[in-house]
Amino acid sequence: MSEPTSTKPYLLRAIYEWCVDNGLTPYVSVVVDANTRVPMEYVRDGEIVLNIGPLATSRMQMGNEAIKCTARFSGVARELSIPVSAVTAIYARENGHGMSFEVEAKADSPAAGEAATPPGAEPTPGSAVEPPGPRRPSGGKPTLRRIK
């Protein structure tokens, strides 16, 4: 019998859908590695928090291996590709309800600790980048908890 697929992408899609259905804004916290395609100028300490709601993104695809979409950063559309394995949390901005995850594979991160938001490069309203979100808890299994 083969190994079953990970539940993580299914849980991400479920929390995303719950947020959207309830008029909440879904955010993801992501550990940036060599396989993560996000604007590096917004990465802080090797992590980025993104608004992935339908008003902040277009062409959203939440697959089993990656989350892909287009989002605006300071008015410029950028293509994002986020490996599901790099997502550490998904939660609603308004109430902090969501789920956190362990990072599945720790890849080398050329941007970790190097990139920071440049002075005066504040995200514009409705942009995909938001202030740093929750930190992932220590432990093994995904947990459903309030993150705020």
Which pairs count as long-range contacts for 61-65, CB under 8 Å and 24+ apart, including other chains? Answer: 62/9, 62/12, 62/13, 62/16, 63/9, 64/5, 64/6, 64/9, 65/9
Over residues 56-96, the pLDDT tens digits come to 999 999 999 999 999 999 999 999 999 999 999 999 999 99
CATH class of 1-103: mainly beta
Model confidence at 102, pLDDT cuts 50, 70, 90, reads: confident
Q: Indicate whether 138 pLDDT > 50.
A: no
Strand partners, 81: 37, 68
Which is more confidently placed, 127 or 80? 80
pLDDT of residue 136: 43
